[in-house]
Structure 1
Amino acid sequence: MPGRIAISSARIRAKDLLGAETIACEFTAAPLTGLLAAGPWRTFRWYFGQRHYSGSYWAATEKDLVIFESRLELASLLAADFDPGVSRIVAQPFLMTAQVDGIERRHVPDFLLLTGSGPLVVDVKPAAMLSKDEVAFALGWARAVVEDRGWRYEIWSEPSAARLENLRFLAGYRRSWLFDPVLLTRVQAGFEDGMTLGEAFGAGHQADARLVRPAVLHLLWSGSIVTDIDRPLSPTSIVRRAL
């Protein structure tokens, strides 16, 4: 747990997409619009034998590439991109500092998300590391600073195996421009709440089944229809209209 935190000492720095520092102020004074336009604070680490798996993922939410520094971050990025309540995703959005126990501490969160209930700062850590004192300390003071501003703060760890496999699979159908809007409308018109996924694949009103199946999976990705993604997807999965 964090020690004595001087909340008033908390500051924030952010860069633009070209790497120029554009924000340097008190944490509570940083404009949200500027942070949502920020480029990553850190650059990739590339070296022989590195333990981290870094890369870029094309996020449907951003319609652009978003970076990640580990496979667990990629899993979290998939989850954020799948969530219809998330409208923005910014990776490594800023550097935050604060005086804790009389020493200046530094931390770069993994993601800043804009959700329907406001900004959400996310740190991604393996569950096995959360009990380590240094990890709990760093995340504890970061949480205190973020929540003092009225924002939400969450720590994301490993998803269930079924959920991750489903997200990986459905992400293959995330690119909206590949799907005919007329066909999507026809599929939705033929859909009945509570039918199975297999039945939904036949809801295309005589449309080519080779096109209907991916259209249904795109509707699942986009949140127009929903199912329990914590269970392996199968033709017997129950599918419902989104609320």
Structure 2
Amino acid sequence: MDIAATVSMRRRNGQVVEDRFWATEPARSLASTMPWRTFRWHKGQKHYSGTYWSATMRDHVIYESRLELTRLLFADFDPAVRGIVAQPFLLKAVLEAKVRRHIPDYLLLTGQVPVVVDVKPLHELSKPEVAFTFDWTRRAVESRGWKYEVWSEPPAAELENIRFLAGYRRDWLFSAEVLEELREAELDGVPLGQAVGCLPDRPEPQVRSAIHHLLWTQSLVTDLDRTLSPSHVLRWAA
């Protein structure tokens, strides 16, 4: 059953626009918002808030927990994601004679349809209030042909690898000449430990970091389901 939801958002100039029809509000309007609420710090706070510099956005994006930061890393690493908006809007709907409100954690803009993301630890998903909120949110999001995702803890090795490669996401730190030489090198099928020596006229640390940057941009790919090591075989992306 479709849900007659409304959406409120905060414009970049600080103006609050309230109770627009969710089903017809353009994606471009929702993609250019400020976070509905800003994070706060206080003594005894149980969650960890902060800002992450996103290579996708070339700007800072907020998060309210370490798990949200993890989802940000994965979104920033995903080449299909072209935009990331934190706490993009407030959804409201009347269900069971009560006004329900929910602020999703992220809106991801992709080359296909937008993806609305809620981040929640796995052990909390079975709570009735959480399941109820995510259920009606999913129905509201999917009613307009968008995707909805509830995201919990990822595999440990994959997270470790992406967190490591994120250290090489700032493209201006890498020599364009070295990157171009690597793109012309025969690296397909070469182990990572051997690849770092493929440009003998360049310092090995410079080559190694450039390879890590190409892995971050996914120009080069390798198996991220196990911790990166010199034995990891490199492949050029299709």
Q: TM-score range by the shorter chain?
A: over 0.9
Tell me, yes or no, if the aligned pair for 2:169 and 2:216 is still in contact at 8 Å: yes
- CA offset digits 1:60-90 (Å, max 9, x no partner): 0000000000000000000000111111000
How far has the Cα of 1:164 moved from its partner? 1.4
RMSD of aligned residue pairs (Cα, Å):
1.3
Pair 1:21-2:16 in alignment: yes
CA distance in 1, matches of 2:17, 2:227: 45
- The match for 2:230 is 235
Pair 1:200-2:195 in alignment: yes
1:1-243 mapped onto 2 (5 Å cutoff): 7=3, 9-22=4-17, 24-204=19-199, 206-243=201-238
CA distance in 2, matches of 1:24, 1:194: 54
CA distance in 1, matches of 2:27, 2:143: 15
CA distance in 2, matches of 1:191, 1:115: 32
- Aligned AA for 2:88? P
CA distance in 1, matches of 2:171, 2:206: 14
CA distance in 2, matches of 1:117, 1:229: 25
How far has the Cα of 1:172 moved from its partner? 0.6
Identity %, equivalent residues: 53
CA distance in 2, matches of 1:207, 1:221: 21
SS in 2 for 1:48: coil
Tell me, yes or no, if the aligned pair for 1:162 and 1:231 is still in contact at 8 Å: yes
CA distance in 1, matches of 2:82, 2:186: 26
Show structure 1 runs of 4+ deviating over 4 A. Answer: none
SS in 1 for 2:168: coil
- CA offset digits 1:9-30 (Å, max 9, x no partner): 2000111234321464100121
SS in 1 for 2:94: strand
SS in 1 for 2:8: strand
Tell me, yes or no, if the aligned pair for 1:98 and 1:106 is still in contact at 8 Å: yes
5+ residue gaps, structure 1:
none
5+ residue gaps, structure 2:
none
Aligned residue-pair number: 238
Using structure 2 for the length normalisation, give the TM-score.
0.96
- Aligned AA for 1:120? V
- Aligned AA for 1:97? K
Structure 1 residues 171-180 or 10-19, which shifts more?
10-19
CA distance in 2, matches of 1:33, 1:230: 35
Structure 1 residues 12-21 or 170-179, which shifts more?
12-21
Using structure 1 for the length normalisation, give the TM-score.
0.94
SS in 2 for 1:172: helix
